Structure 1
Amino acid sequence: MSLNVVNLVGRAGRDPEVRYFESGTVLCTLTIAVNRRSSRTDEPDWFNLKFWGKTAEIAANYVKKGSLIGIQGSLEIETWTDRNTGTNRSSPVVHVDRLDLLGSKRDNDPSLVGNYSGGDDEF
């Protein structure tokens, strides 16, 4: 038996980037910053996320930089050859199956997002 499930809760590191393909498929990418439970530093771990289809549309419409989200998906190591050097490269990416919008109304109000103070217990 094998299992590849990733569950993360954190804040979007940037606004989503959306691509629409001629086939009608939608791809949304963004990063998420996740604080460690017992970290001696204030630095979060960063994860690259990919959303497809309806989930991508929801992420594109409702997630903004700083939004608190929860995701469930699977980890994939994407590999490619660097065009400039010919070197094989790789990067871990979470392919998201489920998106939960966890922020409050305050988080989604553009007039209040700019006032976010970034306390120690939050990103």
Structure 2
Amino acid sequence: MSLNIIHLVGRVGTDPEVKHFVTGSMKCNINLAVKRQTSQNDDPDWFNLELWGKTAEIAANYVRKGSLIGVKGSLKIETWTDKQSGANRSKPIIKVDKLDLLGSKRDNDGGQTPSYNDEI
């Protein structure tokens, strides 16, 4: 049996970076800062999030720097060859399947905490 599920709740570090493709699909990249439960004094851990489709569209329209969000997804390792040095590079990315917009009424002007699933 194998399992690759990640749940994170944190604050968005930058406004979403959106890419539209000629096929009509949409991709959104977000950086997420997550504090560890063990200590409030540590710097947060930063995660690169990748969202596609309707979930990416929702993030592009409603998520901004500082927004509190929750995500469910899976870990993938992106690998490439550096064009300048020829060295192999890699970085971890969380491929988001579900996005929850969290926060107060004042944060999202709606009062509810909508949830968006990539599986729709």
Gaps of 5+ in 2: 110-120
Tell me how far 1:14 sits from its aligned partner: 0.4
Correspondence for 2:58:
58
Q: Distance in 2 between matches of 1:97 and 1:40?
A: 28
Tell me how far 1:40 sits from its aligned partner: 6.0
Q: How does 1:92-107 map to 2 (within 5 A)?
A: 92-107=92-107
SS in 2 for 1:77: strand
SS in 2 for 1:41: coil
Q: Distance in 2 between matches of 1:108 and 1:83?
A: 42
Q: Distance in 2 between matches of 1:61 and 1:47?
A: 20
**What letter is aligned with 1:74?**
S
Residues matched between the structures, number: 109
Root-mean-square deviation over aligned CA pairs: 1.1
Q: How does 1:69-80 map to 2 (within 5 A)?
A: 69-80=69-80
Correspondence for 1:118:
none
Normalising by structure 2, we get a TM-score of 0.87
Quick one: structure 1 residues 81 and 12, their matched pair in 2 at CA, closer, same or farther if it must change by over 3 Å?
same
**What letter is aligned with 1:41?**
N
Q: Distance in 1 between matches of 2:104 and 2:40?
A: 28
Identity %: 66
List, as ranges, runs of 4+ consecutive aligned residues in structure 1 with deviation greater than 6 Å: none
Normalising by structure 1, we get a TM-score of 0.85
* Counterpart check, 1:43 vs 2:43: yes
